[in-house]
Structure 1
């Protein structure tokens, strides 16, 4: 006796057809592309947050990565005012790194700049650590613990 396998495929939602008609076919890993300003995470060399770009805290790291990857490209988040991108653009121009600015009012991300290739490199550590009040508090807490440990050791 033979059994036939029946696969039932749910019809696409009308909304899916409308979205595709308006915006085009969605690319694979669209959420990832939205986060990394149009590129995939596997292609990213360095991703700087909007805060790191606006305060120029990532300039040194950006320049180091550009020197190490002279064939890379840059993408900037169009939500950042151009006056905050001057240093990053200067560094990109200094090393002849092409860059573009991506503005998409419907997609919001905390990424301000991405240094990337057009192909996968699968770099593990692409983010520069945030230095802020949380890290400073953590350092103070560690130093306080060291002091208490030394004080206890002194009396024991």
Structure 2
């Protein structure tokens, strides 16, 4: 597991804890010449024959605003 060393520490520390808990070896990689949106890469010692290797982003649907209930002191 390769972790992006430029990632915010709060996220990085969570990945480190998960890797350690699951006995997954990890390496923190920091490249000062290139900034990447990729936070981690899980690598194997053999080829993965897949046309798409990136995890798709999930879009979160915004909840419809619930009408506020008027209280005893509401105007």
**TM-score, length of structure 1 as denominator length:** 0.35
Structure number with higher relative contact order (C-alpha < 8 Å, ≥ 6 residues apart): 2
Structure 2 equivalent of residue 119 of structure 1: 46
1:126 positional shift: 2.6
Structure holding more helix per residue: 1
Structure 1 equivalent of residue 71 of structure 2: none
Q: Which 5+ residue runs of structure 1 have no aligned equivalent? A: 1-73, 138-156
Alignment of 1:1-156 (within 5 A): 74-132=1-59, 136=61
Which of structures 1 and 2 has the bigger CA Rg?
A: 1
| Cα pair distance change 1:124/1:104, threshold 3 Å | same
**TM-score, length of structure 2 as denominator length:** 0.64
Over the aligned positions, Cα root-mean-square deviation in angstroms equals 2.1
Q: Which 5+ residue runs of structure 2 have no aligned equivalent? A: 63-75
SS of residue paired to 2:42:
strand
Paired residues in the alignment total: 62
**For the residues of structure 2 that align with 1:107 and 1:119, how far apart are their CA atoms?**
26
